Amino acid sequence: MAQFWWVVYPYLCLMIMIVGSLYRFTYRQIAWGSKSSQMLEQSSLKWGSRLFHWGIIFVFFGHVMGLIVPMWMYQALGITPEFYHFNAILVGGIVGILAWIGAAILLLRRSTNSRVRANSHFSDFLTLDVLLLVLTLGVAVTLIYDVFYERYEYRATIGPWFRQLLTLHPDASLMAHVPVIFQLHIIAAFLLFAISPFTRLVHIWSYPVRYVGRSPIQYRSRARYRQSPE
């Protein structure tokens, strides 16, 4: 099972993500996007979307610093493990909570607003459910496990394993004694990668950095601006 979860499963999810995204771009390009529902409801969308997108961007860069950058580079820069983990918990906890609140607002909006719910699909709810699962586990790791249980040095196990995935030589034994909550977080994250080509998440490949800073789409009522008869 260790070989499946930490060697087969990640590559299977990544293969589905890559092949599925290429297929959708090639044969279903008209459906490529996030299917904006702004015209159906704007108030909660404004806050939920902004909190989620800004939060998830900083969460992404935090994961890059923790998983891609090896420990020896931090040591060479004079950054101690205590200093690193303090900032990871502080900053990671804040941006993780922001992303979680944003995703929760978006799910609540899609579930309770009748107009938005009527124009939603199963994939929309699946996306938000899995996102919330990943974020909940991530926040629990950062603010509960590391703070109240023990500070786990994931840079010595998960980090090397993840970098080995990128070089196509993963060692499943590195993940053998990783705490279960970390393992569940990783499994859920790869599940999110796998479903992305079949959901609105496919829009992440279309300049996501420009999305968060763009001007909002303006919708105007045709009746409101109709000229009165002379």
Query: What share of residues in the chain are helix, strand, coil (percent, to 5)?
Result: 75, 0, 25
**Residue 54, pLDDT score:** 95
State the pLDDT at residue 216.
64
d(CA 8, CA 188): 15
Q: Which amino acid is at 136?
A: T
Main-chain dihedrals φ then ψ at residue 66, nearest 5 degrees: -85, -30
pLDDT at 157: 97
Residue 80 CB-half CA count within 13 A: 3
* Counts for the chain of helices (H) and strands (E), in that order: 10, 0
Residue 105 is encoded by which pair of tokens?
């607002």
Count CA within 13 A, CB hemisphere, residue 150. Answer: 7
Q: Output the pLDDT for position 29.
A: 73
Residue 129 backbone phi and psi in degrees, to 5: -65, -45
Tracing tokens 């995935």 back to the chain, one arrives at 165
Closest CA to 56 of 128, 119, 7: 128
Give pTM, 2 decimals.
0.86
What tens-digit pLDDT sequence spans the chain (230 residues)? 899 999 999 999 999 999 999 999 888 877 776 677 777 777 888 899 999 999 999 999 999 999 999 999 999 999 999 999 999 999 999 999 999 999 999 999 999 999 889 888 999 999 999 999 999 999 999 999 999 999 999 999 999 999 999 999 999 999 999 999 999 999 999 999 999 999 988 888 776 556 556 666 666 666 655 555 55
Closest to 191 (Cα-Cα) out of 201, 181, 176: 201
Instruction: Say which amino acid occupies 65.
Output: M
Q: Name which of 164, 59, 70 is nearest 102 in CA terms.
A: 59
Q: Are 200 and 127 in contact (CB under 8 A)?
A: yes
CB-CB contact of 194 with 12 (8 Å): yes
Place of tokens 């978006």: 106
Closest residue by Cα to residue 204 from 30, 19, 39, 32: 32
Distance CA 184, CA 133 (A): 10
Instruction: Determine the longest span between alpha carbons in the chain, in angstroms.
Output: 81
